[in-house]
Structure 1
């Protein structure tokens, strides 16, 4: 359907439907949407916040920011200009943004390409192939993050990569012996055949944790159950391109900006067949996060540690149904 043939109501519904496919920590999908007239409210769902690993709601707002960018992108794909107010009401902290469907625009090829990756992009939890990520593509990803007010820094020095590996491994070990973290992880690990539309499905990670050199510990969603997809033997031991996403500040506004930057980077990368694996364990332990800020991030605040690489991952995603996340206040929609 041509963009100029899409009604505002259709554009709103399709934008919210697309926003469900944003990435979120443990696939918690900590967001909801309300539509009134031509305005869409993007709200954080604090009931889905990780109480143990995310007490301040930082990861929740990063997830919400990713959803906001997805929604913005789809509104533009459908031929309308999104007019966005981020954190518009201090008295309503759960209200992350209001997006108004503005005047008609002609979406350019780049926006349409990003929109086409929304349902294709997948979080990767295994190894990468030996195929290299082109340097010019990494440079483009840095530019995409900058366009949303964040800094994406590829980590090139081998010693710095080893530090990130060691901190990730240490954080994973500490969390694995802490019953609070373990129970929280179990809550979001879906067993094989589960019909639930959230959490990490058993086919969303390998049955044997991938080994990279240096090693980057993965979450143990399967625990002692032996859940997980068969390990792909085509994957190499390379960690891929290790990168840090940082912001100059650490307020709620920067967290939302980090989420928008993250999703912009991920959608651009997906268009080139590049996937991302996330390692947030060290960022969930304040002393380790502070160490990273001062020693590796030049005083900037680390919001995400990721590895980028090329995979053969084509698994299906899992999301809650649209009626579960959408409140319609305008019956004309």
Structure 2
């Protein structure tokens, strides 16, 4: 390996880690850290950023890290390198989720470049959509994107099933809003206007007064908690529910969770490339009884990992990310 090649690999590894920081995460907790040494990148979960009340098993933390892992992979591919990934390489180090070696690769194809271009553009949406439906052909493409990563994206085409998911989301939201520990945990990740923090959900990331969606209303997290925070609702948006979908996996272990995050991010980047935004609703999946109900009655026995809505918006919300110096060793 000559010096020029070593330098190129080091630069690619740094670019891949910086791209990983743009992955979505529950409440924008960004629960990851990275180590870079030569041609190797290590992805670790950050237990200090785990949601101990709503995510005691670390499932959502691991899904978030899986999304970051996919950003590493797609960035290396886009730069002409091959990511050699070992997931959970050391049983004695459970926080070490993946080790990625940067190998010489080939010129990236058009689809890889398409996904990579959306890494910093993609945003999480937190309200209703316009009335414009997501085309069936695009929905099929999103289903195909999730499959190679080990995830099953299931569009909810039944009105009854969509009503059930909306009702379960509302029920979980109501229960959690009465639980002091849930509320305090959520408040930790809610950022007031003018905050200099580079994590959590900023006040401009959700509407001040979310309009009721139709035909099914999905409860939104109450990040403001009685404060007049948020952005003014866009009257140009019809507050449509959009397309409801479930992401599931065949198993429900830590590797399934990590791969669910990779499948999710691959699908999200493809959606973003065609102007489709995605809103997440994890409340019901944070309650074991409701998650089991969804697994049994709506997922054909597979494990539900994410409930989401897809649609088109006019203006996207803001997002914040921590500096690489805070995350990378």
TM-score, shorter chain, exceeding 0.5: yes
The answer (yes or no) to whether the contact 2:129–2:241 under 8 Å persists in 1 is: yes
Residue 295 in structure 1 maps to residue 319 in structure 2: no
The answer (yes or no) to whether the contact 2:201–2:319 under 8 Å persists in 1 is: no
Q: Is the partner of 2:114 in helix, strand or coil? A: helix
Residue 221 in structure 1 maps to residue 223 in structure 2: yes
**2:22 aligns to what?**
21
Q: Is the partner of 2:134 in helix, strand or coil? A: coil
CA RMSD of aligned residues (A): 1.2
In structure 2, what is the Cα distance between the partners aligned to 1:277 and 1:243?
10
| Per-residue deviation, residues 186-218 of structure 1 (Å, max 9, x unmatched) | 000000011101000000000012311211000
In structure 1, what is the Cα distance between the partners aligned to 2:204 and 2:39?
38
Q: Is the partner of 1:254 in helix, strand or coil? A: helix
In structure 2, what is the Cα distance between the partners aligned to 1:165 and 1:317?
26
Residue 199 in structure 1 maps to residue 200 in structure 2: yes
**Number of residue equivalences:** 324
Q: CA deviation at 1:152?
A: 0.2
In structure 2, what is the Cα distance between the partners aligned to 1:272 and 1:134?
10
Residue 94 in structure 1 maps to residue 123 in structure 2: no
In structure 1, what is the Cα distance between the partners aligned to 2:20 and 2:212?
33
Q: CA deviation at 1:315?
A: 3.4
Q: Hey, which bits of structure 1, 4+ residues long, moved more than 6 A? A: none
Q: CA deviation at 1:34?
A: 0.1
Bigger drift between 311-320 and 81-90 goes to 311-320
Q: Is the partner of 2:124 in helix, strand or coil? A: coil
- Give the unaligned 5+ runs of structure 1: 328-333
The correspondence for 2:276, drawn from 274, 280, 293, is 274
**1:44 aligns to what?**
45
- The within-5 A match list for 1:143-292 is 143-213=144-214, 214-292=216-294
Q: CA deviation at 1:237?
A: 3.5
In structure 2, what is the Cα distance between the partners aligned to 1:168 and 1:246?
17
In structure 2, what is the Cα distance between the partners aligned to 1:301 and 1:159?
20
In structure 1, what is the Cα distance between the partners aligned to 2:71 and 2:211?
30
| Per-residue deviation, residues 26-74 of structure 1 (Å, max 9, x unmatched) | 0000000001110000000011000000000000000000000001000
Q: CA deviation at 1:276?
A: 0.3
Q: Is the partner of 2:76 in helix, strand or coil? A: helix
| Per-residue deviation, residues 273-293 of structure 1 (Å, max 9, x unmatched) | 000000000000000000000
TM-score by length of 2: 0.97
The answer (yes or no) to whether the contact 2:125–2:317 under 8 Å persists in 1 is: no
**2:126 aligns to what?**
125
TM-score by length of 1: 0.96
**1:331 aligns to what?**
none
The answer (yes or no) to whether the contact 1:124–1:313 under 8 Å persists in 2 is: no
**1:317 aligns to what?**
319
| Per-residue deviation, residues 168-198 of structure 1 (Å, max 9, x unmatched) | 0000000000000000000000000111010
